[in-house]
């Protein structure tokens, strides 16, 4: 190994450019496959001429509870940067609930005691589905059962953020109707008053990320806290009414609503209440947590601003300690790729647009804000457009590429990591034509980067964090064909997939004769960190999962 490292050190090309084609996976199914349908001459050439392997990007391979769990950008970038498997959000919460640790913890005891002391309401806000990316409805139901049966909480209100993104695009009633029955039974069995109080689509209110659109959070505040908005008798009525008024609207875009009875809104948040934001994933939970916790807050006017006991499901930002109170400890990821390369004195650039900037920085670095070394690292955020992604499927790919090409030519970095969000963000809209264009935009930019790498005699590793754009139609599990809407059109799929992703090695010099090692069985995203060390001429750390490459010399 030492001899190999010495040889590689003498010939290793610079820079190493890691291209994350977010949401672009590999699938043999052609129906609804916007990646296969797109005009992608550069990706096609790479798959024909360069060595590649397919990586697992979902399930247990990236720390999720089961192989039926689709991958996502957070755990994907955690896995790439960490170089090994860490138990992730859903698994951590499952274990904490199953063992009872969540209920024995200080946060849960503090919030439930606060309700008993003040005779006040326990509120739950979060993504209302079993998508298992940001949250899981089973966690919510378990906490409600515990609150009623054990903690003697007599009044709870649930503020539901409708999904249609990590689950079927119009599946909201599949969750709302059974949940209402669950609440009816819970209320009867324990003599409590637990009700849905407000809601809206996840892309309309509350769940903004990376400060891309604080107006979403402000609308959520007015809906959940003030109880101010369009009124309905039930959540089911709100959903069916909006669908009738807005044909084709999908759940994530449904407007906010407030549930009322004869006395008015049933669940505005008041002084003395307790509030739990039950998402476990951090990126779309930070802003609403800040709004609840920060005294010096000027982003929008919080009217009213009740004094509450607030907790998140997890600590969403470990460095900034957001939120201050949380129910479950997040994974503690240390000795990540970025940190270890800084220790080696390597210069690194991380770049994306706003929608995925946190993924190539915070999540890549093991849920850590800030840099490991100010002198060695540069982080570049290209501001995202505030328009529906299907209207600008090219997003900021060209601007990202402009900067990357310039930096490759300048020769200032040993490693450049970049994320093109297009395949994921446009894929989530369910608009097939726009997603195909999004993939083509990424391919166009990939060609520019490859030419710059070629000119600099560098090397590139092209991969993704999970699939999305390659499966744009819901598929019947029995027949394998696309499910149909009542009008006969294919039913759009807006969620991530269980498909693998490519890992392609592009070495224009051909000096090392690199190829993928067939003895690395079931390769996954966690193998990428050690592979990057190989390509940089460094011995991979022992705690990393094995590297993927072999070299002729």
The catalytic residues are: 73
Tell me the C-alpha distance between 214 and 250, whole Å: 21
Question: Where do we find the tokens 């054990």?
Answer: 150
Phi, psi dihedral angles at 35 (to 5 degrees): -75, -50
Nearest CA to 300 out of 201, 221, 416, 391 is that of: 221
Residues 6+ apart with CB under 8 A from 175: 128, 129, 130, 137, 163
Query: Per-residue DSSP letters for 56-111?
Result: B-SGGGGT-S-TTSPP-HHHHHHHHHHSS----HHHHHHHHHHHSHHHHSHHHHHH
Residue 508 CB neighbour total at 10 angstroms: 17
371-399 burial, b if ≥16 CB within 10 A, otherwise e? bbeeebbbebbbebeeeebbebbbbbbeb
Phi, psi dihedral angles at 311 (to 5 degrees): -145, 145
- Whether 467 and 500 have beta carbons less than 8 Å apart is answered as yes
Q: How far is CA 415 from the centre of its chain?
A: 24
Nearest CA to 500 out of 469, 476, 532, 464 is that of: 464
Tokens of 283: 């990126």
- Whether 197 and 126 have beta carbons less than 8 Å apart is answered as no
Phi, psi dihedral angles at 390 (to 5 degrees): -70, -15
Strands 264-265 and 52-55: unpaired
Quote the Cα angle for 341-26-359, to 5°.
Answer: 35
Q: How far is CA 530 from the centre of its chain?
A: 23
């Amino acid at each position: 190994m030492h001899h190999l490292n010495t040889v590689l050190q003498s010939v290793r090309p610079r820079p190493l450019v890691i291209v994350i084609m977010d949401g672009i996976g590999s699938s043999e199914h052609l129906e609804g496959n916007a990646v296969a349908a797109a005009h992608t001459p550069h990706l096609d050439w790479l798959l024909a001429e360069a060595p590649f392997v397919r990586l697992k990007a979902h399930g247990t391979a990236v720390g999720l509870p089961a192989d039926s769990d689709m991958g996502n950008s957070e755990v994907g970038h955690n896995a790439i940067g960490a170089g090994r498997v860490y138990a992730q959000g859903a698994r951590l919460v499952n274990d904490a609930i199953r063992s009872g640790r969540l209920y024995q913890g200080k946060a849960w005891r503090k919030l439930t005691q606060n309700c008993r002391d003040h005779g006040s309401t326990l509120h739950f806000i979060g993504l209302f589905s079993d998508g298992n990316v940001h949250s899981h409805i089973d966690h919510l139901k378990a906490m409600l059962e515990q609150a009623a049966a054990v903690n003697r909480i007599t009044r709870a209100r649930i503020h539901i953020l409708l999904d249609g993104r990590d689950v079927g695009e119009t599946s909201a009633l599949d969750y709302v109707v059974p949940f209402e029955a669950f609440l009816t039974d819970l209320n009867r069995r324990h003599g409590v008053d637990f009700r849905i109080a407000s809601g809206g689509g996840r892309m309309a209110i509350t769940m903004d990320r990376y400060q891309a659109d604080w107006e979403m959070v402000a609308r959520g505040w007015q809906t959940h806290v003030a109880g101010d908005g369009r009124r309905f008798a039930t959540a089911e009525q709100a959903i069916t009414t909006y669908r009738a008024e807005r044909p084709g609207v999908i759940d994530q875009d449904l407007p906010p609503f407030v549930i009322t009875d004869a006395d008015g809104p049933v669940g505005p948040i008041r002084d003395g209440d307790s509030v739990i934001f039950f998402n476990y994933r951090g990126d779309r939970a930070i802003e609403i947590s800040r709004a609840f916790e920060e005294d010096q807050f000027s982003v929008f006017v919080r009217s009213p601003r009740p004094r509450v006991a607030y907790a998140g499901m997890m600590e969403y930002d470990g460095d900034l300690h957001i939120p201050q109170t949380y129910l479950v400890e997040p994974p503690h990821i240390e000795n990540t790729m970025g940190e270890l390369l800084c220790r080696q004195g390597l210069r690194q650039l991380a770049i994306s647009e706003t929608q995925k900037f946190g993924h190539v920085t915070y999540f890549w670095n093991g849920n850590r804000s800030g840099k490991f070394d100010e002198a060695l690292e540069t982080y570049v955020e290209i501001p995202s457009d505030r328009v529906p992604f299907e209207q600008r499927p090219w997003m900021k790919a060209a601007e990202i590429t402009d900067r990357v090409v310039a930096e490759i030519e300048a020769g200032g970095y040993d490693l450049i990591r970049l994320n093109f969000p297009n395949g994921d963000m446009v894929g989530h809209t369910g608009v097939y034509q726009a997603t195909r264009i999004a993939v083509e935009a990424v391919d166009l930019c990939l060609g520019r980067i490859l030419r710059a790498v070629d000119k600099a005699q560098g090397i590139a590793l092209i991969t993704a964090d999970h699939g999305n754009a390659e499966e744009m139609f819901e598929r019947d599990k029995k027949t394998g064909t696309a499910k149909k809407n009542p009008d006969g059109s294919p039913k759009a799929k807006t969620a991530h997939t269980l498909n693998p992703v490519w890992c392609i090695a592009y070495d224009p010099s051909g000096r090392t004769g690199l190829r993928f090692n067939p003895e690395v069985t079931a390769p996954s995203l966690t193998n990428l960190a050690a592979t990057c060390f190989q390509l940089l001429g460094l011995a991979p750390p022992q705690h990393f999962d094995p590297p993927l490459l072999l070299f002729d010399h």
